[in-house]
Amino acid sequence: MLGVMGRATLASFAAVAFVVALISLLLAGRGAIEHQSFKAFYCAGVAVRHREDPYRVEPLRSCERRLLSNHEPEGYVEPAPLPGYALAVFAPLALLSPKAAAVVFALAMAIATILAAYCLSAVLQAPPAAVLLAFAPLALLNIAYGEIVPLALAGICCAGYCIARERWVEAGAAVCVALIAPNVGVAAVVAVFLFAPRTRIVILIFGALLAILSVLALGVHRNIEYATTVLPLMARAELVASDQYSLSHLLYAAGMAPNSALLLGRTWFVIATVGSIAIAGVVSIRRRETALVPLIAPLGALFFGIYLHDIQMLLAIPAALAAAARTRGVTFRTTALAALALLVAVWTQRAARATLILDGAGVAGAVYGALSPAGNRLARAIAAAAVTIAAVLLLGRYLTPLAGSQIITAPFHVAPNDWAANAWAIYLRSTPALTNSNAGVKVPTLLGLFLTLVCIVRLGLTPSRSELREPPPESAPYSVSLQRYG
């Protein structure tokens, strides 16, 4: 029976994985690179190959203008505010043509998402196809915009899988991959370092290797520039951006002075990140599940953290799935499932047919995967999907997302040797549509994060005695889980 179940589960996972990979390739093949952040990463990779500064207006602007088919102002340049080791990854891609590189990159992000779903399903004893469906809406949004977040997702989920299997070397290496998105990944790395002691040497070694890679890619001086100049400039530039989820942006939009908003935002980031790392440790110790540490730790960094957009919220889904799968009691289980649905759905895009299908399938998969095999989980998953689709339609009716035709920029100029982050700040302030407040579309996601945090705290502070003595109810041990789900 287990063999049949394993084959059926593997077949469904392969089918969903094929669809995700196919959509990713279509998005890359038919998408316009000029509308993707990938163009900035690609051009930064070209700069790294030519030993030029990837954080300056030039050479980024000249490279990006060769990819632009629309008429942006002369000063327009999109920055690539990633550390040296991350930009080094794009240097080999820059050997390809921009379109070919975009396709390879999209396929790599799809594979990372599929791998993350497989690993997380083994940790949570959930059907891998359901977990992959839960990732799909935000993962495909990342791929459509040429973003790197799925790679960080793979690092976090693979780290949890390796910890569950007591493969400490692989766990330490995997969690360091999350540093590709450093503002969120650092929480997972620190938490694993603290609460999985046998990974510490590996994490230190890989941290040193990343530092060496950064120096080889950019040199010592440009790495110092990145830490001391580029990051503060980028934080200040994004202060006005309406798509920001940071506390600094919220305070600035409410009328606070920029310096005060930035200071309070950084302070909150430290407090929230340290708090979520501590919560991850408490939950793992009380439940004797160290594998949950890298999944839970990023939550604090995502809750009003630094330099956050909707794409980074993909990294909250592992914790939300864990909370919904582990929480007991009707009230808290319902709360956890509602939070999961709020995080899986994409609220910032137009309610087009494709968006609604993806949101519905994602929420259905998430709820189905979080519930136990017994009972009417399919009916509950379908009901949750229907409610979510109705909510997306309702929100879209009153809070229409930004349309491309609304993005009109006043002419501006910047010096070639200026920082790309400064040019980005001028661009945002010259484009009213990108700075007008659009807080309503962020409320569902922020509410989902808050409710997930509540459920995680409850999970850590009030575990049942049976949870301390036995594996989680309605679940199989890891070895059986891996048999069942391939």
**Number of other CB atoms surrounding residue 469 within 10 Å:** 8
Q: How far is Cα 305 from Cα 312, in angstroms, rounded to an integer?
A: 11
Best CA proximity match to 134, nearest among 386, 388, 385, 366? 366
Domain ranges in the chain are 2-403+411-484
**Number of other CB atoms surrounding residue 133 within 10 Å:** 27
**Average pLDDT taken over every residue of the chain:** 89
CA-based end-to-end distance of the chain: 14
Model pLDDT, residue 404: 55
| pLDDT tens per residue, range 43-83 | 999 999 999 999 999 999 999 988 876 677 888 999 999 99
- 353-390 in b/e burial notation, b at 16+ Cβ within 10 A? eebbebbbbbbbbbbbbbbeeeeebeebbbebbeebbe
Backbone angles phi, psi at 403, to 5 degrees: -100, 150
Model pLDDT, residue 339: 97
Best CA proximity match to 175, nearest among 41, 311, 318, 341? 318
Token pair listed for 311? 């794409």
CA distances from 38 to 34, 80, 84, 364, 483 (A): 8, 9, 16, 30, 38
Letter for the amino acid at 190?
Answer: V
The answer, as to whether pTM is greater than 0.85, is yes
* Packing angle, helices 168-177 and 200-225, rounded to 10: 20
**Contact residues for 386 (Cβ-Cβ < 8 A; gap 6+):** 360
Token pair listed for 169? 């070397």
| pLDDT tens per residue, range 221-274 | 999 999 999 999 999 999 999 889 999 999 999 999 999 999 999 999 999 999
Residues in the chain, overall count: 486
The residue ranges of the chain whose pLDDT is under 70 are 1-5, 31-35, 69-70, 374-375, 399-406, 462-486
Model pLDDT, residue 245: 94
Q: How far is Cα 322 from Cα 337, in angstroms, rounded to an integer?
A: 10
Specify whether the CB–CB gap between 174 and 301 falls below 8 A. no
Q: Angle 455-458-460 (CA atoms, 0-180°, nearest 5)?
A: 110
Specify whether the CB–CB gap between 485 and 479 falls below 8 A. no
Model pLDDT, residue 467: 46
Quickly list H helices, 125-179. Answer: 128-144, 149-164, 168-177
Specify whether the CB–CB gap between 481 and 475 falls below 8 A. yes
Model pLDDT, residue 398: 73
Model pLDDT, residue 410: 77
**HSE-up (13 A, CA, CB side) for residue 251:** 20
